[in-house]
């Protein structure tokens, strides 16, 4: 029997939008933006424990944060999207994996990645 998933934080999932030229179908430069796919849905977010998550490039220290995101099944969500974790200071993170279906067959899991500079 699978352990229950505790959905105790709110997140917003967004997808990139691009405007296209009506005549040629090419992307219009500078038209990129983000639009919500799922707003303030309940989720379970758990940071992965730190281990060698820091690197230095050109004198700038960068720490990579990995977070596990669990939500109720929503097949619209893809790895091309980003997530705002509202209960963690409105932290924005990129989805880095496709969905994994959990044992209970009612929830899915993604891995997220975010950066901080120190």
pLDDT of residue 58: 61
- The pLDDT of residue 21 is 83
Mean per-residue pLDDT for 51-70?
72
68 pLDDT tier (thresholds 50, 70, 90): very high
Quick one: pLDDT at residue 27?
A: 81
**What is the pLDDT, as a whole number, of residue 108?**
97
pLDDT tens per residue, range 21-60: 889 888 887 767 899 999 999 999 999 887 655 555 566 6
Q: Report the SS3 class of residue 87.
A: helix
Long-range contacts of 52-60 (CB under 8 A, 24+ apart): 60/117
What is the share, in percent, of the chain residues with pLDDT greater than 70?
A: 85
Q: Is residue 112 scored above 90 in pLDDT?
A: yes
Q: What is the average pLDDT across 84-89? A: 90
Residues 55 and 65: beta-carbon distance below 8 Å: no
Comparing C-alpha atoms, which of 7, 64, 3, 65 is closest to residue 38? 7
């Amino acid at each position: 029997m699978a352990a229950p998933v505790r959905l105790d934080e709110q997140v917003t999932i967004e997808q990139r939008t691009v405007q296209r030229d009506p005549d040629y179908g090419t992307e219009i430069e500078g038209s990129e933006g983000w639009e919500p796919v799922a707003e303030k849905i309940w989720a379970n977010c758990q940071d992965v424990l730190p281990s060698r998550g820091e690197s230095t490039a050109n004198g700038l220290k960068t720490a990579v944060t990995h977070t596990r995101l669990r939500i109720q099944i929503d097949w619209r969500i893809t790895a091309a999207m980003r997530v705002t974790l509202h209960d963690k200071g409105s932290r924005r993170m990129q989805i880095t994996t496709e969905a994994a279906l959990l044992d209970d067959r009612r929830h899915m899991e993604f891995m997220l990645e975010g950066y901080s500079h120190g």
